[in-house]
Amino acid sequence: MLECEIEIGKEEQDALLEITLNSKEYRKKRKAEAIKFSILIVACILIIIWRVTNSDTRLVVLCSLLAAYSLFMICGGSKLMQKTVLKKSVTAMDKELKSGYRKYTFSEEGILLKSEVSEGNTAWTLYKDWEIYGNYICIRNLSNENVLVKQDKLSAEERTWLIDLLTRHLGKAVNEK
């Protein structure tokens, strides 16, 4: 059994935002958008070529703008949009849910969470994966909510024990090669 405490502040919120943006689900959405925007760019180029010969400058300008927007979305605009939406949703949350004190107790049965607003025990079957992100170990449940543990608050033995526990119950870290 291992007990960990963390105070969720701005640094932890930023880490959670980056972890979410780099998750498999968000990367998959951005990849699908990139494919759609690539097809749109090709269609715009074909329309531009076809309409330039007919001297339809309004449609050429419109397609040029649409192609430029699509290129922006492919080159990072989609991630920027996702980040903006995530920040807005976090801002709309109650302060107690997005920040404050958390205490986690890790055991063979699961994770016991205590915070200022709730307390609950969650079995390992309700978690799907985990990863190491900078100074944090992030454990993701089936609802894509994260448990964040600061590695520098753990001794070497505690860190080894926790990683072994996570590997036994959830497999290798998703960012481990």
pLDDT, tens only, 122-137: 899 999 999 998 889 9
Sign of the alpha-carbon torsion through 122, 101, 90, 13 = negative
The mean pLDDT of 35-51, rounded to a whole number, is 90
Q: How far apart are CA 3 and CA 39, in angstroms?
A: 51
pLDDT at 93: 62
The candidate with the shortest Cα–Cα distance to 82, out of 40, 148, 22, is: 22
Distance of alpha carbon 115 from alpha carbon 103, whole angstroms:
6
Residue 92 banded pLDDT, cuts 50, 70, 90: low
Q: What percent of the chain has pLDDT over 70?
A: 93
Tell me the pLDDT band of 97, cut-offs 50, 70 and 90: low
The enclosing H or E element of 91 equals helix 78-92
DSSP state letters, 34-61: HHHHHHHHHHHHHHHHHHHTTT-HHHHH
The 10s digit of each residue's pLDDT in 11-37 is: 888 888 888 888 888 889 999 999 999
Measured between alpha carbons, how far is 118 from 89 in angstroms, rounded to an integer? 21
Mean pLDDT over the full length of the chain:
86
CA distance 83 to 7: 23
CATH architecture of the domain with range 2-9+95-170: Roll (2.30)
Contacts (Cβ under 8 Å, ≥6 apart) of 127: 110, 111, 139, 140, 141, 142, 169, 170
